[in-house]
Amino acid sequence: MRAIVYTGPNQMALDEQPIPEPAPGEVLVRVHAVGICGSDMHAYHGYDDRRPPPLVLGHEAAGIIASGPRAGERVAINPLVVDPECPVARAGRPHLSPTRAIISMPPRPGAFAEYVTIPERNILPVPDGLSMRDAALSEPVAVSWHAVRIGLERLGQPRPRVLVQGGGAIGVAAALVARHMGAEAIDLAEPHPGRRALLEHEAGITGFDPTSQDPGESAYDLVIDAVGAVATRQAASRLVRPGGVIVHVGLLPGQEGYDIRRITLQEITITGSYCYTPEDFAAALDALAQGALGALGWVEVRPFAGAVTAFAELDAGKVSAAKIVLDLAEL
Ligand SMILES: [Zn+2]
């Protein structure tokens, strides 16, 4: 099968590999669509110790079961593999289990390949009418779903004013999910005009340039930080209202930025947000199937053969789309 292998910092190569054998309890999936994630880019740069080369990256995939009794079923892949018997998983938070492992981290190769194996409990049927491209979005949308959901739960206030920082896929999807979940007004802080334009036709979501516009202290009830940089943490500390909530999703290097004094005096809640529960994943896939998240014009499809180029262009900042999905259907 063809696979894209990360061979060393800033290097990718299209390669031939044997088709993997599913272990007991696993299925073999012929990948039809797979998204490129910020964490794939992070690994590509050689910054992720959990992803040493040579390695097949990619964890945002949908495809068709290729063998066994369920052959032919269209499925989305939940790439977060967890021991279901772990006490943390049994308590309802499998994404926090010490056994958690995402495909594209050894020993599990990722989905930038024609075939991938995955435990059967990690696949979800793709509803009729939902394209493989959109089914592959269920993973990043699930990340956003989880972040917005836990933020709203901690806030406990209907119709909040929401700030989303960062117009990448997680930020864009978080803005759309916040609207779906009933936010009153949603602002998207993103310096890049091309990225801001991705949502300009979406009602209820307003983009602005945080480097030149200041919404003012206490402007928001809930802040979703989908960047995770010093500047966004500084801004979130000031822009959230007293008693408000900040959800930290982004994973850029560095730890500084929060105004701990204001956070203490104004009883601001900060929570991290990582991945999703299986319920979040299913809800994200369902919302995509219902068309509840808008026109998805922020997604660009490219042929699998163009993957190496796509990485280089993403690296060079030449891509306005918030998400590139690779199409493997015609291979
Ligand atoms: Zn991802």
pLDDT digits (tens, 9 = 90+) for 104-141: 999 999 999 999 999 999 999 999 999 999 999 999 99
Q: Is the pLDDT score of 331 beyond 90?
A: no
Give the model's pLDDT for residue 155: 98
Question: Average pLDDT, whole number, for the chain?
Answer: 96
Instruction: Tell me how far the alpha carbon of residue 41 lies from the centroid of ligand 1, in angstroms.
Output: 10
Give the model's pLDDT for residue 297: 92
* String of DSSP letters for 55-87: EE---EEEEEE-SSTTTT-EEEE--EE--TTSH
Separation CA 96–CA 150 (nearest Å): 14
At 193 the three-state DSSP class reads helix
Separation CA 233–CA 225 (nearest Å): 7
Confidence band, pLDDT 50/70/90 cuts, at residue 253: confident
Instruction: Tell me how far the alpha carbon of residue 314 lies from the centroid of ligand 1, in angstroms.
Output: 15
Instruction: Tell me how far the alpha carbon of residue 228 lies from the centroid of ligand 1, in angstroms.
Output: 15
Separation CA 85–CA 25 (nearest Å): 15
163 beta partners:
187, 223
Task: Note the pLDDT tens digit of each residue in 268-291.
Answer: 999 999 999 999 999 999 999 999
Task: Note the pLDDT tens digit of each residue in 28-84.
Answer: 999 999 999 999 998 999 999 999 999 999 999 999 999 999 999 999 999 999 999
pTM for this model (two decimals) = 0.97
Instruction: Tell me how far the alpha carbon of residue 275 lies from the centroid of ligand 1, in angstroms.
Output: 8
Instruction: Tell me how far the alpha carbon of residue 35 lies from the centroid of ligand 1, in angstroms.
Output: 8
Instruction: Tell me how far the alpha carbon of residue 39 lies from the centroid of ligand 1, in angstroms.
Output: 6
Instruction: Tell me how far the alpha carbon of residue 12 lies from the centroid of ligand 1, in angstroms.
Output: 18
Instruction: Note whether 2-137+296-327 and 143-272 share their fold.
Output: no
Instruction: Tell me how far the alpha carbon of residue 264 lies from the centroid of ligand 1, in angstroms.
Output: 32
143-272 topology per CATH: Rossmann fold (3.40.50)
Instruction: Tell me how far the alpha carbon of residue 184 lies from the centroid of ligand 1, in angstroms.
Output: 28
Separation CA 5–CA 26 (nearest Å): 23
Q: Is the pLDDT score of 20 beyond 90?
A: yes
Separation CA 210–CA 115 (nearest Å): 42
Residues 83, 88, 94, 95: is their CA dihedral positive or negative?
A: negative
Burial (CB < 10 A; 0-12, 13-18, 19+), residue 302, is middle
Instruction: Tell me how far the alpha carbon of residue 322 lies from the centroid of ligand 1, in angstroms.
Output: 12
Task: Note the pLDDT tens digit of each residue in 231-251.
Answer: 999 999 999 999 999 999 998
2-137+296-327 topology per CATH: Quinone Oxidoreductase; Chain A, domain 1 (3.90.180)
Q: Is the pLDDT score of 317 beyond 90?
A: no
Q: Which residue has the tokens 């529960």?
A: 277
Instruction: Tell me how far the alpha carbon of residue 125 lies from the centroid of ligand 1, in angstroms.
Output: 20
Q: Which residues contact 138 (CB under 8 A, 6 or more apart)?
A: 62, 76, 124, 281, 284, 285, 288
Q: Is the pLDDT score of 164 beyond 90?
A: yes
The end-to-end CA distance of the chain, in Å, is 10
Give the model's pLDDT for residue 296: 94
At 48 the three-state DSSP class reads coil
Instruction: Tell me how far the alpha carbon of residue 59 lies from the centroid of ligand 1, in angstroms.
Output: 6
In the chain, where are the structural domains located? 2-137+296-327, 143-272
